[in-house]
Chain A
Amino acid sequence: MEQAAIQAYLIGVSFSIFILVSLGLAVIFGMMRVINLAQGEFLMLGAFVCTFANQAGLNLWLSFLAAALAVGLFGVLVERLIIRHLYGRIVDTLLATWGLSLFLVGGVTTLLGPQTRSIAADLGNVAVGTYTLSAYNFVMMGVAAAMLVFTFVLWRFTRFGLVARATMQNPGMASGLGVNADFVYMATFGFGAGLTGLAGAVLVPVTGASPPMGLFFVAKAFITVIAGGPLPLIGTLSAAGLFSFIDGIVSFVSSSVVADMTVLFVAIVLLRLLPDGITGRSRRGI
C-alpha cells in the first residue's frame, strides 16, 4: 500500500514536470507551428526572474507571477524582432530560435556567471508511513494542473481563444473578418512564453536556476508535444501521462538517466507506429 502510494506520488511529480515544461511549447509549437528551440531558455529566464524577485523580498507566489509576466513580455519582444519575419519558413524559425537559445545561454552566463542560484520553499514535509515527501512537490502538481485548466478554459470558452484558434487555422479568412492576425500571433506567442516562464519559476526550488538548465528540459518538452500530435492540449496531456508513467516506474527501479533514455526510445517507437502522434487521427478538439 505504502509502496503503491510512493509509486503514484513519483508518477505524479514526473507528470507535473512534463506538463510544466511542455505546456508553453504546446501553445507555441502545437498551436502556432513555431518550433521554438529557445523554449528551454525561456524556462531559464523565468527561473532567474523568480529567484531575483524572491531575493528582493517578494514572496514566493508573487515571484512566480513576476516570472510569468516578465518572460511573457520577453516573448512578445522576441516575436516582434525575430519570429514575425519567419512565419511560414519553419526551418528558418528553428535555426533562428536555436541562435537565440545559444545567445541567451551565453549572455546570461556572461552577466551572471555559471553558478546555480536557488531559493528555498520552506513548506515542510508530508509523512507517508516511513517516507517523508516534500510538500513543495504538491504545490508543483497544483500549479501544473492550474496552468492546464487555465489554458483549456482560455482556449475553449473565451472570445480570445476562439479568435486565436480561428487565426491559427486560417489567418487570411480571420483577417478578412476583421481580426488583427498580427496581434493575435503576438499575443499567443507571449502567452506561451509566459506559461514557460511560470514553469521555470515553479521549478526553481527543485532544480535551482542556472544558465544551461533549459537544456535538461527542452528535449522532454519536444518529445512530449511531438508525440502528442495535432491536438495541442489533449495530445500533450496524454503524451505527458504516458511518458511520466514510464519515467516514474523506470526511475524508481533504476536511475533517472535510464528513465530519460527509455522515454526517448518509447517516443521514437511510438512515432513509427503513429507518425502523426497520439491524437493523429482526431480532427476536432484542442
Chain B
Amino acid sequence: MAGERPAWWWWASIGTALVVLMAAPSYLDIADQLDISIIFILALLALSMGFLWGQGGMLSFGQTAFFGLGGYSYAVLALNTGETTSAFFIAIALSMAFALAVGYFMIYGRISDIYLSVITLVVTLILEKGIRATSGDQYVIGSVRLNGQNGIPTVPSLQLPWNPGTELFIDGVFYLSAALLVLVYVGLRLLLASSFGRVLVGIRENERRVELLGYDARRYKLAAFVLAGGIAGLAGVLYGVWGNFVSPAMFHLNQAAQVVIWVIVGGKSWLIGPVAGTAVVQYLSNWLGTQGVGQVSLWLGVVLMIFVLVFREGLLPTAALAIAWVRRRLGRREA
C-alpha cells in the first residue's frame, strides 16, 4: 500500500466520508456529537502513534507526552492571553519542539528500537508525575495555576480567527475535529506516497540498506517523530477544547496503554487501522462503562494480551487476510 499513489476509489471514499461527516451534526443530538467528536480527537492521537509504528518502525509509547503537553500549553496560553488562535498553533509548535528535543537524543544516539519505546514511556510517566506535583500556589505560569492533580478547568473554547467574539460550540468542535482528522489522514497518506514516505518505509524495512544508498536515516526518523509529536499535540489541544479541561490523566499510563490498544486492535500496517481501532474500542469501552463491569484497566489488559497472543495483525488486516483466504478457497473450487 505505502508508496503507491492513492487510487480514484480512495479519493471517492474520502469525499463521501467528508460529505457524511459535514451533514452528520444536523441528524445527531448534542450528546452523540460530543461522543463522536472525542473519538475523532483520540483517533488523531492513535494516528500519530500508528504512523510512527506502522510506517516508521518506531514504537513510541509516549505519544501521550505530546498529547498532554499540547493540551496544557493551549490551556496556559489561551487563559493567559485570552486569544485562542495563536495559542492553538503555539501549543502544537511546542509539542513539536519537545518531540525534536527528545527525538534528537534518542534517534541521533542510535539507541535501539526497543529502548526508544521504554524511554518514551518513561518520559510520559515522569511528565505526569511532574504535573501532579504542581498543586501548590507557587506553581503558576503567567496568571494560570497548574493545580496539580486537579488539572486546569475552564480551558477556553476556540474562537473564530476572523471573529474572536464567536466561540465554537459543540457542533463547531465536531466539524473541526472531523475535518482535521480527515486532513491529517489524507496528508499522511500522501506523505507516504512521496519520496520522503518511501524512504521512511525503506528505513522501517532495512535501515542499514537505506543508509548505504546514501540517505541519512536519522534525519528521516527524527522528522517523522517530530511530525507525529505535532499530531499528538494537535489532538491534545482539541481534547482541551472539547472538554474545556486538561488534567494529568492525559499523560497517564492507562491513556498511553489505550493508544497502543487502539493501534493494535485496528492494525498498524494501514493508516486507517488506528482510526478504526479507536472507534471500535472507544465504543465498546463506553458500552462496558455503562454495564458496570468494574475496573476498565482489567479489561484493557485482557484485550491487549489476547491481541498480542492471538490476532497479531489487528482487526482490519486479519479481516483482509480472512477475505483473501475465503476467495482463494472459492477460486480453487471453481477451477
Contact = CB atoms under 8 A, between A and B. Distances in A.
B108 A272 contact: yes
Interface stretch (B4-12, B25-33, B79-87, B252-260): B252-260
Contacts of B105: 268-269, 271-272
Given A35-B118, A222-B122, A98 B304 contact: yes
A275 B110 contact: yes
A102 B254 contact: yes
Contact of B302 (A85, A86, A99, A110): A99
Nearest to A106: B298
B261 to A, nearest CB: 8
Given A102-B297, A271-B109, A94 B117 contact: yes
Interface string B182-204: 00000000000000000000000
A86 B310 CA distance: 11
B308 A100 contact: no
A106 B296 contact: yes
Interface stretch (B34-42, B124-132, B162-170): B124-132
Nearest to A94: B117
Contacts of B302: 99, 103
Nearest to B110: A275
B108 A95 contact: no
Contacts of B301: 98-106
A96 B310 CA distance: 11
A134 to B, nearest CB: 23
A82 B305 contact: yes
A260 B129 contact: yes
B294 interface: yes
A237 B302 CA distance: 35
Contacts of A148: none
A275 B125 contact: no
B115 interface: yes
Contacts of B45: none
Interface string B248-276: 00000110010010001000000000000
B129 A257 contact: yes
B294 A110 contact: yes
A271 B308 CA distance: 29
Contacts of A35: 114, 117-118
B141 interface: no
Contacts, number: 126
Interface in A216-274: 218-219, 222-223, 226, 255, 257, 260-261, 264, 267-269, 271-273
Interface size, A (range): 35 or more
B93 interface: no
Main DSSP-derived SS at the A contact region: helix
A90 interface: yes
A275 to B, nearest CB: 5
B208 interface: no
A170 interface: no
Contacts of A82: 305, 309
B258 to A, nearest CB: 10
A257 B260 CA distance: 27
Contacts of A99: 300-305, 308
Contacts of A172: none
B122 to A, nearest CB: 5
Contact of B114 (A91, A101, A223): A91
Nearest to A101: B301
B308 A103 contact: no
Contacts of B223: none
B299 interface: yes
Give the interface centre of A95, A106, A264, A269 by most chain B CB atoms within 10 Å: A95
21 contacts: A35-B117, A86-B308, A94-B59, A95-B264, A95-B304, A98-B304, A102-B300, A103-B305, A104-B301, A105-B297, A106-B298, A106-B300, A106-B301, A110-B298, A219-B125, A219-B126, A223-B119, A261-B126, A267-B122, A272-B104, A272-B109
Which 10 A-B residue pairings sit nearest by Cβ, starting from the closest? A106-B298, A103-B301, A99-B304, A102-B301, A106-B295, A99-B305, A106-B297, A272-B109, A257-B133, A96-B308
Given A92-B312, A257-B130, 7 more contacts: A35-B118, A99-B308, A105-B297, A110-B294, A257-B129, A271-B119, A272-B106
